[in-house]
Chains A and B, each alone.
Chain A
């Protein structure tokens, strides 16, 4: 299994001006988490223009459904993205989760007010805020996230301590 190229995947999306918000483990890393994550999770805009840019940006990376047997008639094009919603993909740059909606956060437009602009690799990138990330993890309700939530809560405390 190849390690995910975080910078490579983000650059692809950012260079193509895809509208998305970074969420999940990589968002936690961006906020200072010390836990390892192995994929990139984004909530992407469902606007037709942005979907077109998304497909164009990712097509060269041969996106395929992660864990699915090879040979399925899966075509990563704008129609597939429009007809579907959430995609867990394997690409030549590693694992990428494209989320049209996320539990507790809704879609891209819903999440915009809970995102912060960052500069990553020379591009403006939106990342979900730390308090919202905590809310999303809580909403997911997965037992495995309890340990993560402990760390995110500690990060929130550390950040408010240094902001004081």
Chain B
């Protein structure tokens, strides 16, 4: 028997319509392991940029 679909919170629904689905589709083509590696690359880049910003302020 189908369970009734829980109704979507209007606030969440507002965000849902603006989600960039091309990014999601691109990620869904990767393996879970590669999704983690992609995140890792991004986080490392963020860290380097943050450090560069700190050094520039000195």
Contacts and interface: CB of A to CB of B under 8 A. Distances in A.
A40 to B, nearest CB: 10
Interface string A1-35: 11111110010000000000000001001111110
Contact of A7 (B28, B40, B42): B40
Given A29-B39, A34-B23, A120-B36, A159 B28 contact: yes
Contacts, number: 86
A2 B57 CA distance: 19
Interface residues of B, number: 32
A150 B39 contact: no
Interface string A40-82: 0000000000000000000000000000000000000000000
A29 B9 contact: no
B33 A153 contact: no
Interface of B: 8-9, 11-16, 18-21, 23-28, 30, 32-33, 35-37, 39-40, 42-44, 46-47, 50
17 contacts: A3-B47, A5-B40, A6-B43, A26-B36, A26-B39, A29-B39, A31-B32, A32-B27, A33-B24, A34-B26, A38-B43, A146-B15, A149-B12, A149-B15, A151-B24, A153-B16, A154-B16
